[in-house]
Amino acid sequence: MLTALGGGVGAAKFLEGLSNVIGNEQLNVIVNTGDDIKLGGLNISPDVDTIIYRLSGVVDRKKGWGLEGDTFNFLNSLKRFGLETWFNIGDQDIATHIYRTHLKSKGFSATQIASRIAKAFGLADNISVLPMTDHDVETWIQTNEGEMHFQEYLVKKKMKPEVCRVTVRDIDQASAAPGVVDSIENARAIIVCPSNPIISIGPILQVKGIRDALKKTKAQVIAISPLVGGVPLKGPADRLMRGLGLEVSSAQIARLYSEFLDTMVIDLEDAHENQAIVDLGLKTLVVDTVMSDKEKASILASSVLELI
């Protein structure tokens, strides 16, 4: 059994590659839920959905999120009522959010809901998508324009405000969802996907029990840096790291994970950081990490598997 930690588009791309090279081996994916947001009464869990959509072959590959060929008539109709429509929910995608909201109102947990959505999209039987926690948490960003939900910072404000602090609301009440700690304890190896270390992996590590399980596990832990040439290919990792006073580098990400990490995978363009990571007592792998298509994601996943 392999276990991966991740959230969002980078993780989903890597996991697609991984799913193509693991045969029937069980893969448990522990997914960030800090990006979750309630909008217009709907419970939306972007990272869970992005990973399910990608792994079941229905994602909009150009955007990296949402469903291929989706339309936005519903969203346009909402404008009539003066509701905020900056978060682009497609006409097919909304069915997922309605279903999640319906099950949640009936008392189903995030874990149960993710499992049902995955099944409905025909996700392979050997892959389990596990939300990091069944408790409701939300990542909020303190900026020079005030505090806002992460999605508001990312989508509505287009990452323009200056970041001062990142808080995962209610994380102190969040315990690991069923199967999460077990997946870390009993894995053959654990892969930290090329995801944002602050808002994707950071919240997962703050859930009670997860960091400790990673420190204790006998499994090798391998992380893939989301930076290429010192910058993220997508998203605000650099802005968030800088805002928190951190150096923007793969070596810094390795430092954030060093308590539990064995190997850091970095891009060829960041080869000059190799020694700094080795000096932390970690192994490294320097390869092309740019996943411009499925084949390149599979090649990266194969290189990671060869380390195990």
Residues of this chain that interact with ligand FO1 (CB under 6 A) are 7-9, 35, 44, 46-47, 49-50, 65-66, 87-89, 93, 151, 154-155, 200
User: Which one, 195 or 298, has the nearer CB to ligand FO1?
Assistant: 195
CB of 37 to ligand FO1, least distance (A): 8
CB of 97 to ligand FO1, least distance (A): 8
Q: Are 143 and 149 in contact (CB under 8 A)?
A: no
CB of 181 to ligand FO1, least distance (A): 23
User: Which one, 131 or 277, has the nearer CB to ligand FO1?
Assistant: 131
User: Which one, 28 or 200, has the nearer CB to ligand FO1?
Assistant: 200
Q: Are 134 and 43 in contact (CB under 8 A)?
A: no
User: Which one, 50 or 249, has the nearer CB to ligand FO1?
Assistant: 50
User: Which one, 66 or 131, has the nearer CB to ligand FO1?
Assistant: 66
User: Which one, 72 or 108, has the nearer CB to ligand FO1?
Assistant: 72
Strand partners, 278: none
Strands 220-224 and 263-267: parallel
User: Which one, 22 or 155, has the nearer CB to ligand FO1?
Assistant: 155
CB of 214 to ligand FO1, least distance (A): 21
- Nearest residue by C-beta to ligand FO1? 8
CA distance 28 to 26: 7
User: Which one, 35 or 273, has the nearer CB to ligand FO1?
Assistant: 35
CB of 92 to ligand FO1, least distance (A): 11
Q: Which amino acid is at 14?
A: F
